[in-house]
Every structure is written in structure tokens, then in C-alpha cells.
Structure 1
Amino acid sequence: MTRDILYVDDEETNLIVFESAFEDDFNIHTATSAAEALEILEEHPIPVVVADQRMPEMTGVEMFAILRQKYPHTQRVILTGYADSEAIIDAINEGQVYQYVRKPWQRIELLAVLRRALQAHDLSLQNSVLTDRLLVSERSAMLGQATARIAHEMSNQLNVLPLLEVIEDEYAQDEQLVQLAEIARSTYERLTELVSEVKDFMRFDTKVFDRQSLNLTDCVQELVSFLRFHRSVPHDRLRVKMSGAPVVNGNKLKLHQVMLNLVQNAADAIEGVDEGMIELTLGQLPDRAVICISDNGCGIAPETLKRIWEPFFTTKGPGGNGMGLDITRQLVESHEGVIECTSSPGQGARFTIYLPLAGEQEHDGECAESGTTTSSLL
């Protein structure tokens, strides 16, 4: 693949000579000023920039000082006369210039410099990737230690929840209190399994969680009941629609974890949005169950959408750890399913989950956009 080189010089003749000398070796871009060069770099990343030192509006070294801040991996080669040598050496020592070549330059000499500069650019990128991986590894180790402590403490605190039996026995006639106790017990079971999962992970025990035949309609209804008491989700802005009764081989608590995380993300997205709504839709295709969770919130920018599944990537600042969607994707895939996301800035987001059905079932319906027949609002 032909590599890109940008040459900056205010003299048109010099640009023509440079391009003629290296057009067979590189893809040459030219600019007659520092301002024009910066515009080219904004639109097209270029690994090596060559510039004449003496230009009227901005010297080559001054331009390279800007490039060093904005494009640290781009290698910078300066062309200069003898009179500028001391200033150029200072610039090299300060890291603003990769190398300088005295004029008049010789093609063979400058060609060797350009090839070394490209190699230096590639090595710089590789080092950056390795550094990022090292930081992720260190962060993972710290997260693991913190998670182990949290799991231990949660396990101790959860020991009091079985006392719910006292409430169920003493106040069996109070229907609402018994219902609340059932929800609390379901929450206790969910948290207990999550704590156990964390402990297994810390012991590198990768046992597969149990799955069984699961009616997704019942699964969604249980989640809806739980969400009524979940303060992070505005229950008056959640609309639930279900059609058909798809059955999958799944783990109820894991699928609750998937849907809860997506609903919470949607709640964050509609925060501060007038008439913001979250819609959870369950439907069925001939061979798959379809769960859609959508919102009309802030949406996701294209450059962010490409990275949402990356571990530790978050747009929530200190409020997020970047693990939610990565775990969500892993849980869906562990059910032999697929999760997709479509979004545009200001247009909300839609997460769609496809899960294989357990056995042959008739086609009852599809997702909300495809003819959902029943609807309920919290």
C-alpha cells in the first residue's frame, strides 16, 4: 500500500520538484502554507509531514509545535538551510522535529529519511496500543480486587433477607405487603446469584449458568413488576408492549440483567428530555424471539456507536465503568443470541435482541414496528 506524505512549502516550484521526485514512492499531498496543511490534516490523517523552515506566515518549526500537540504520532521532517541549523537542533531536542535535512536535499538521502519516518510513525502507534492495553490490564486488576471486596460485603449483608419469611408468616393477610415481600425475595435471589458469579469469576471458575425453557412473556412481566420499585427508571415513562408468547432456553435472572441494564441506559438517555419515553417490546419471528428496548432521548453519535461494546468504554464520566454493554452483549451471546443497536444523535436509540426459540412455534407477531397487538403502561 502506498503511504501518504504531506509536503508544505510556500514556493510552488519546490512543491513540483518534491512531488516529481517521490510520486513513484509515496502518495504526495502538497500545501503552500501552514494553515492549508492543518486543514488537510483535519480531513485526512497523514503519517509524515515534510515542511520548509522559512515560510512567511508561520515557520516550519512553529507549525510542527502545533502538530505535536494535535497529532503526536505524525512524524515531522524539516528542510532547512545552514543558517537555521541551531534553531532546528533546538527543535529536535524539544521533540518538535523528527529529523532535519539540509537544502539542497538529495533524493536518495531524503527518501531514506522518509522511510525511517514512516517506520517511526508505525512504531509510535504500536507503542500507543500496547500502552493502552497495559492500562486496561492494570485497571482490570484493580477492578477485580475491588469487586471481590464488594462481593464479600454484599454476601454478608444479604444474609438478613431470608427474614422476609417472618413478614410473610406474620402478615399473610396483608396482600400488598406479601407482594412486596415476594419482590424483595426475587431481588435477593438475583443478587445472590450475581455475587456467586463474581466469586466464581475471581476464582477463574467459568462454569456455564443453568438454562431452562423460559416463557419470555412471564419474564418481562416479572421485570416490569420489579421496575415499579426501581428508582433509577421513571415508571411513568416506560411503555411495555408484548405479542405472542415466545419460549426460549434461557436463564431468567441473566435475561433480567440484560433488559434492566438497557432500560437503565434508556432512562439516562431521556433524562432532561421533554416527553422522553422508553419502550420495551416483546415479539416473535418464525425462528426467533425479539426484544426491543428503545428511547427517544439524546441518541448516540456515529463515532461513539462504533465503540459502545468495548470493555471500559463509557460516555458517563465518573458515573459509569464501561462494563454494562460489554456484559450485556456477552450474556446475550451466551444464549446463542444477537444484540444490535441503531441510533442517531437527537433521535434516540434502539437495542434489538434476537434469541432462538426453544423448538418449533407458530409465528405470532414481531417487534413493535411489525404489528404488536397488546400494550401496557406502567
Structure 2
Amino acid sequence: MSTADALPLRHHPAFRRFWLARVATAMAYQMTGVAVGWQVYERTGSALALGLIGLAQFLPALLLVLVTGQVADRFDRRRIARTCQWVQCVAALLLASGSAGGWLPVAGIYALIVLIGAARAFEMPTMQALLPALVPAGWLGRAVAASAAAMQTAIILGPALGGVIYVAGPAVVYTCAAAGFLVASLLVQGVRYETPPQRVREPLGLASLFAGIAYIRSRPVVLGAISLDLFAVLLGGATALLPIYARDILHAGPWALGLLRSAPAAGAIVLSVLLAYVPLQRHVGRIMFASVALFGVATIVFALSSSIPLSLGALFVLGAADMISVVIRGALVQLETPDAMRGRVSAVNSVFIGASNQLGEFESGLTAAWFGVVPAALLGGVGTLLVVALWMRWFPALRQRDRLTAAG
């Protein structure tokens, strides 16, 4: 596919608003994450307390998974996304007010993170299911890559900006994040459908509630791709430990934390932009396994590093490798799922993503409390390589998958 063929995507009005909304809401979320992580660690000095932040973000998605998918498939997805962004805006303003007034305890921070996590539990699958209705069907592969680029752009800018602004205090960071959530809601409000999504007509029952899980289980390639990403990032993710690495191992301040959190996204955005213009054509299964293995190796290098440049380089490679598996997984899920089921399937997918990220942060904090920071990160990288070896054996259909689109 030539570069010229990819150009219309950036000029598509609905996709452009969608892309900017994803940047705004993800940037606001990342800024909030930097401020919360530094604030909690500053108050507690506990690796476990950092891990609990990830658990507070993940539990709402897990508990609400059967509800969020139903909502996304039965109601206007644009309205759902806007409502979620308003809720996150209010939570960020409460964090700002409590931090500025000194009345917000650590338990109160966790409570507001749970609220943000609940809003994101609805927002993430809704936005994933919304994308295919905004662009022509032939553009979906590139749109998934470009959408991933939006997320990574925010993950680069959000933590770096949040770390710099934190010098003025956490309340300022939270206020800026609230503004980002508000901007995202206004952008989503103006999105127009290319193809009106199909609504679920079947009555609500157990079969409908568990339809997303049943559908994924019936597709070994999709199940293998999602679960590979889940367990690899669950074991290999060291995001929760970055405040400790920044302060205690690299002996730096919040600015270093912002750079460390941005480095994986820098690698990811390079790959996502490349894949938006030069999409994967062949051997996607092998490429996915190779990229996850590289993710594990980069995690090991980061775990053993005591140098800021080497740590940033390892995280850059880690993010680039992860983006390849993200794009493959995202395209497989969307291209092989009927529109009327995309909300429920995306809800299950979001739980897997949340488990790999937020629950992975809890796992990292817990193992760091047990074994120490460096051994915990090192074990995560080794565990990722073990997962790759096992999944290549257990999911041969994924290993042998040649193209993103199904045969025929």
C-alpha cells in the first residue's frame, strides 16, 4: 500500500475528531497517573501502595465486564463515551481540589481512581467498538494502527507534561487533566458515523451477557492473540515500579519519571505510524510472537540498568515491540467480530488489556515488596519469554496465521 493510499485517513472528518479525542482523553489519563503515582509514593514510600493503584484501576473493568459490553452494543456509543469522559473530568477536579486543600487522604485518592477506572471500563470498549463505524471497511487496518498512534502520542506527551507540571503541585496536574477530559467529550460529540452501527435486538439474558466470552473462546486465533498479550504484559510490565526506579535506582526526580513513562510510548508511536502507512501483510503470527519475545528481552535489560540513557533505550524498544502485538491483536479482534457483537467482545478485550496493564502493575508492586525491585522486574522479563514459548506450542493456529484477514 502506498503512502498516497493512506493519506485520505487523516482527512476523514469523523476519524480526525475520534483521533484527537483519543489523544485528549488518554493524555489526561496519563497525566493523572503520573501525579497519582508520585503523590502516593511520596506519602507512603511503599511499592505495594503503588501496586494498589493498578488494582484500583483494574477491578472496575473486571466487575463490570458483562455490563459494559451490553451497554456499548445497545446504546449510542458516542453518548456513552461522552458520559465517561465527563465522569473522569469530575474525578480529576476532585483530586485537584483535595490536593490543593490538603483534605484528600491516600484512601480518598484510591476511591477516585476506582471512579476513573469505572468510567474507563465503559469508555474503552465503547471507543474500540465505535471505530469501525467511522471509516470505510477497507481502511480499518490502517485506522487501528492510527488509533494506536493516538494513544501512544498521548502516552508520550501526557507523562512528560505531567512530570514537568508536577513541579507546581499535583493539583495543577489534575486540573489540566480535567480540561483534557472535557475537550475529549466535546470532540466525540461532533463525530458522525460512516456506517450506522448495528444495535443488539436480542432480549437480555445469560446467552447475551456471555456472548463476548463465548465468541472469543470459539476463535482460537483471537483467544491466543488476546491471552498472549495478557500474560506477557502482566508478567513483564514494570510501569508501577517506575517511580522507584526514577528516585531510588536512577537517583532522579519527577522529570525522570515522566521520561521513563514516555519512553515506551516513543517507541510505540514510531512503530504505529509506520504500520499505519505500511501495514503488516504476511506472517503476522510469527511477527507477533517475535515482538512479544523482544518485549521480554527489553524488560530484562531495563531491570538490570542503572543508567538513565540505557533505561530509556530499553523502554523505547519495549514499547516498539509491544505496539506490534497491539496492532495485530486489535485488527484481529475488530476484523473477525460482527458489528452487533463488537461492544461485548471489546469489553472482554478491554478486561484483558486492563489485566495486563493495571493488574500487571499490582503484580509488579507485590513482587517488588516480596523480592525487591530489580528481581521483580527481572522475573517479569523471564516470565514473558516463558509465556511466548508456551503459547507457540498451545496456539499453533496463531503461530501459523499468515494474514490479518481470515482466509477467503
**TM-score normalised per structure 1:** 0.23
Q: Please give the TM-score of this superposition, normalised by the length of structure 2.
A: 0.22
RCO higher in structure (CA 8 A, sep ≥6) = 2
Structure of larger gyration radius? 1
User: Which structure has the highest helix share of the two?
Assistant: 2
